[in-house]
A and B are shown apart, each in its own frame.
Chain A
Amino acid sequence: MSATLKQDGDLRTIAAWEIVSIVSTALLTEWAILSVGGGNRWLLVFPFAVAFAYIFVSQRAWRETARDLGWRRDNFLEALRLLALPMLLVSVVFIIYGYLNGQLDFSKWLKGRTILGLPVFGLLWGLVQQYVLQGFINRRAQVIWGKGWRSILLVAVLFGVLHLPNPALTAATFLGGLIWAAVYQRAPNLYALALSHAFMTWVLISTLSPQTLHGLRVGYKFFG
């Protein structure tokens, strides 16, 4: 009995350490590497490569399949169904806010981008973020606390922290993190989450002023 508890404790310790390690890599990149790198984007290759290499190795060690992680199509509609209501509610709130503040413009994302710019970039970047956030952090949080509000809250808090010190983005990503983490625990599907991520980014850009969003800058770049 006590041996089992110790083994469970060992797993939880490793899972917690893995979360801390990946989050600290992201924070190190946002706050230290970008600040001393003078805008040299090639410097980002190293932390990204190290973090993703670790994630791949870890997922193999935990014997997680692509299907476990959410690279699947069978529950795509179920995940979309779960996402629909919270996304609708949040979108309506943002649209009303944007309308009242004279910021409502659904073509705002086109400025300075090609017609495919935001959809492609938004979907790919959303997919990468959701893969790390849900496919790694959420799953490790479940190792620590199982399914439920504690692991969902942890994912949302960490997602918000990664968008500091941008107040609007921190609040928005915390809220989004809550919704996405909860949906992922019920229907793990990364494609649906990426779609939702891109859609909510579009809503955010279309309803809030660039000053409020601070150019979507986070970390050290927020001050630049």
Chain B
Amino acid sequence: MLKNQPSPRLRVSNVSAPASLSQSARRRLTHLLFFKSILEILFVSALAAGFHFIAFNPSLRGSLDRADAREVAGWALDEAQPSARVEVQLYLDGSFAASRTADRPRPDVLEAGRAADARHGFVFDTPALAAGEHEARVYAVHASNDEARRTLTLIGSPLRFHVAARETLDASGTNEPTEGASRR
């Protein structure tokens, strides 16, 4: 008896086109809207997780050991590929300064059992900087998507250092070499 009864239809009167929705259709649309939202959240979450897994290399390790007016040095390696060389980039005060491969000898890294060989160190020559406080950051580069995407992973912690006025003159070649800069 009940099954044969038409379901009540909802209608908005001031719409140009007939705008009506049966109770069951209304329920179905509500469920579908929930389902669609959940489906999209799951899709984007899976995509974001996949992106993170592909774009960032969690096995990159390293340390920024020294930063001063003359050089910035440390080591970097990929623990998943301990014999591979890692590309590192130096940023000074937030701006790109230089790029190189971490392939300088670091016997201490080999002795610590972190790598297959000792050639995982890097040393950048510090470019001429204005006198005052500066910050050095070194990032390991990870390429993915056929080298189309490159992501950076911070190596160790940023180091702040001070460049004295005399060292600025040294760098421009107008003065005699002096003692090294102070490191904080």
Looking at A13-21, A79-87, A160-168, the stretch in contact with chain B turns out to be A13-21
Tell me whether chain A's interface is mostly helix, strand or loop, or mixed: helix
For chain B, give the interface size range.
Answer: 20 to 34
A43 near B47: Cβ-Cβ < 8 Å: yes
Q: For the complex formed, measure the closest distance between the CB of A109 and the CB atoms of chain B, giving whole angstroms.
A: 28
Provide the bound-state CA to CA distance between A54 and B34, in Å.
11
Closest to B47 in A: A36
Task: Kindly state whether residue A74 has any CB partner on chain B within 8 Å.
Answer: no
Tell whether, in the assembled complex, residue B12 and residue A68 are in contact, meaning their CB atoms are under 8 Å apart.
no
Q: Closest residue of chain A to B28, judged by CB? A: A61
**Chain A residue total in the interface (Cβ 8 A):** 38
A7-B10, A8-B10, A36-B47 known; A50 and B17 CB under 8 Å?
no
- Flag if A50 contacts B148 (CB, 8 Å): no
Residues 26-48 of B contacting A (Cβ, < 8 Å):
26, 28-30, 32-33, 36-37, 39-40, 43-44, 47-48
B15 near A14 with CB under 8 A, answer: no
- Per the bound structure, the CA–CA distance linking A61 and B32 in Å amounts to 11
Contacts of B26 in A (CB 8 A): 10-11, 14, 61
Which residues on A sit within 8 Å (CB–CB) of B15? 142-143, 146-147
| 27 A-B residue pairs with CB within 8 Å | A7-B11, A8-B12, A10-B10, A12-B12, A14-B21, A17-B30, A25-B36, A33-B44, A36-B47, A38-B148, A38-B149, A46-B43, A47-B40, A47-B43, A54-B32, A54-B33, A58-B32, A61-B26, A62-B21, A62-B25, A63-B18, A68-B17, A142-B19, A146-B14, A146-B15, A147-B14, A185-B16
**Closest A-B pairs by Cβ, 4 of them:** A146-B14, A36-B51, A61-B25, A7-B10
Q: Which residues of B contact A (CB under 8 A)?
A: 10-22, 25-26, 28-30, 32-33, 36-37, 39-40, 43-44, 47-48, 50-51, 145, 148-149
